[in-house]
Amino acid sequence: KPKFPDSFDEWSRELRRFRPTDAARRFAPRPLLLLHGDDDEAVPTADSRVLAEAHGSAELQVIAGAGHRLRHDPRAIAVLLGWLDRQRSNMPN
């Protein structure tokens, strides 16, 4: 069972050691969907492209005109639901 850091300093050290690209590589070959808004002012679209490349087979969907909060964007929700349906249909019975 993973142990969560007890203090702010421990959390801070953990976060400084975290490398999203390493996590994406470790997640492969499991399916990964990355959604990104092309008007996101918090995270550059290039960051999602780097994660997709690190994973190797991730599906990256860039939503035109969307910002950072994709959970409220009906287009992003539709992409997610379609992706989940495809994943479910690819699962062995």
Mean pLDDT on 61-86: 97
Residue 91 in this model has a pLDDT that exceeds 90: no
Most distant CA atoms of the chain, gap in Å:
46
Residue 20 to residue 50: CA distance in whole angstroms: 9
Q: pLDDT category, 15, cuts 50, 70, 90?
A: confident
Residue type, 15: L
pLDDT band (50, 70, 90) for residue 58: very high
Q: What is the mean pLDDT of residues 58-86?
A: 97
Helix (H, G, I), strand (E, B) or coil at 43: coil
Q: List the domains of the chain with CATH numbers.
A: 8-90 (3.40.50.1820)
Long-range contacts of 69-78 (CB under 8 A, 24+ apart): 70/35, 70/36, 70/37, 73/37, 76/35, 76/37
Which band of pLDDT confidence, cut at 50, 70 and 90, is reported for residue 34?
very high
